[in-house]
Amino acid sequence: FAGIAFWLVLMARAIFPALLAPNGQDKNLLALLTSSVVCIGLFYGAGLFYGERTHLSVMEYWRWWVVHLWVEGFFEVFATTALAFIFSTLGLVSYRMATAASLASASLFMLGGVPGTFHHLYFSGTTTPVMAVGASFNALEVVPLVELGHEAWDHWRLQHKTEWMKKLRWPLMCFVAVAFWNMLGAGVFG
């Protein structure tokens, strides 16, 4: 628990002063980033519900939830929101687009987080239609991040117009590559 608490305190030190600053700016994207940071830390804590004397079936239950809902759910929302925040701060996407992509990612997770794990139930004898529902929700989770990456790529192609974009070439290419590989790995190969 100490590692999770330390991580949350570290993130809170950077995020809460910006949330509380009275600058009159819309803080929806920052609130989404804050909630995704808190949720990703708290939900990972489900992996701490078992110990060395816990029965294997109980341990596997909690491990399964951490792996499949944390990685395939909360982490998608966190990745989309974090990249949306970075892209909007750098001016690669509009603030409205970044907020919409983050809300879409969170909505997809809230709507299809648990059904999105149904594609893993092959070995338990689950029927094909149920697995198809799971695969569909799982493939939809990457759409907001891919759309965000596409918008950033469109703006990136205008890099020769400003000097600062040339200086940040490789970090920005890394962020666009995150969106691409997320689409290929999670969206195409599932």
pLDDT at position 108:
79
Please check whether residue 167 lies inside any domain of the structure.
Answer: no
Helix (H) or strand (E) holding 13: helix 2-20
Q: Provide the pLDDT for residue 9.
A: 80
Q: What per-residue confidence (pLDDT) applies to 131?
A: 83
Asked, for residue 134, whether it belongs to a domain, the answer is yes
Query: How long, in residues, is the chain?
Result: 190
Give the pLDDT confidence score for residue 6 in this predicted structure: 81
Please report whether residue 173 resides in a domain: no
Residue 74: CB atoms within 10 A of its CB come to: 21
The per-residue pLDDT string of the chain (190 residues; one tens digit each, 9 = 90 and over) reads 677 678 778 877 877 787 787 776 678 888 888 888 777 777 777 777 777 888 888 888 777 777 777 776 777 788 888 888 888 887 778 888 888 888 888 887 777 777 777 777 777 777 888 888 887 877 777 777 777 777 777 777 766 666 777 777 787 778 778 777 777 776 677 6
Is residue 182 within 8 Å of residue 145, measured between CB atoms?
yes
Helix, strand, coil tally for the chain in percent (to 5):
85, 0, 15
User: How many independent structural domains does the chain possess?
Assistant: 1
Query: Which residues constitute the domain of residue 127?
Result: 1-148
At 50 the pLDDT is 77
Considering the domain boundaries, does residue 175 fall inside one? no
Per-residue pLDDT at 60: 80
Domain membership flag for residue 132: yes
Domain assignment present for residue 140? The answer is yes
pLDDT at 21: 79
pTM of the model: 0.73
Mind spelling out the 3-state secondary structure of 55-120? CHHHHHHHHHHHHHHHHHHHHHHHHHHHHHHHHHHHCCCCHHHHHHHHHHHHHHHHHHCCHHHHHH
Helix (H) or strand (E) holding 190: none
Specify the pLDDT at position 185: 74
Kindly state whether residue 183 falls inside one of the protein's structural domains: no
Is 133 inside any structural domain? Answer: yes
